[in-house]
Amino acid sequence: MPVFKAIANKLAMRRFKNLEQHQTEALIDALAGAKAIDGRLLPVELEELLEITKKLDWNGDMMLERYVDQTVERATELEPTEQNMLSFFGEIGERLGEDWLREETYYLCSRVALADDVIEEEERLFLKYLVQAFEIDPQRQALIIRKIREEM
């Protein structure tokens, strides 16, 4: 799938190689949330997620594959209420920290959500709550979405 190749290429960029471990984990958590927002994750989607996360430098206490499995489990079990979503992604936003990284993560998650050119209600709400939780300026959000549409 071309979207995941584009995401993998972006994650291979040097700026993503300098992340602290908690930022890497938060980025993986956000991508897992984007993939699992509808409450299910196909085996091929899990494999894609694992492949793209291998582009990141991993220095965690557990193996990357185990971390991805655990974060996918947390994301698929998340009841998609406004409070749960804002809390879940707010905590991820705090761990990401820097504005550029929150914006890049929003970009990557949006690419995942928009990959099939159809935005389901869960995906629309996911993106709405992600913008709120990551405190992304509406003008920046509009630029990010415009960039994604041009790329697609």
Question: Domain containing 64 — which CATH number?
Answer: 1.10.3680
Q: Rounded distance, CA 68 to CA 84, Å? A: 20
* Residues 35 and 69: beta-carbon distance below 8 Å: no
| DSSP string of 26-58, one letter each residue | HHHHHHHHHHHTTS---HHHHHHHHHHHTTS--
In this structure, what are the phi and psi dihedrals at residue 106, rounded to the nearest 5 degrees? -60, -45
Cβ burial of 1 (10 Å; 0-12, 13-18, 19+) is exposed
Sign of CA dihedral 129, 135, 31, 117: positive
Q: Higher model confidence: residue 26 or residue 115?
A: 26
Give CB contacts under 8 A, 24+ apart, made by 85-88.
Answer: 85/125, 85/126, 85/129, 85/133, 86/129, 86/132, 86/133, 88/33, 88/133
- pLDDT the model gives residue 101: 95
Quick check: helix, strand or coil at residue 20? coil
- pLDDT the model gives residue 68: 94
- pLDDT the model gives residue 145: 85
pLDDT tier at 8, thresholds 50, 70, 90: confident
Q: pLDDT digit string (tens) for 47-98?
A: 988 988 998 989 989 999 999 999 999 988 888 788 998 999 999 999 999 9
Mean pLDDT, the chain, integer: 87
The parent domain of residue 100 ranges over 2-151
Both tokens assigned to 12: 């291979």
- pLDDT the model gives residue 14: 80
Q: How many percent of the chain have pLDDT more than 70? A: 95
Q: Rounded distance, CA 27 to CA 105, Å? A: 6
- pLDDT the model gives residue 140: 92
Q: pLDDT digit string (tens) for 28-42?
A: 999 998 888 777 778
Per the structure, how many domains does the chain have? 1
pLDDT tier at 2, thresholds 50, 70, 90: low
- pLDDT the model gives residue 41: 79
Q: pLDDT digit string (tens) for 109-128?
A: 988 887 766 677 777 888 89
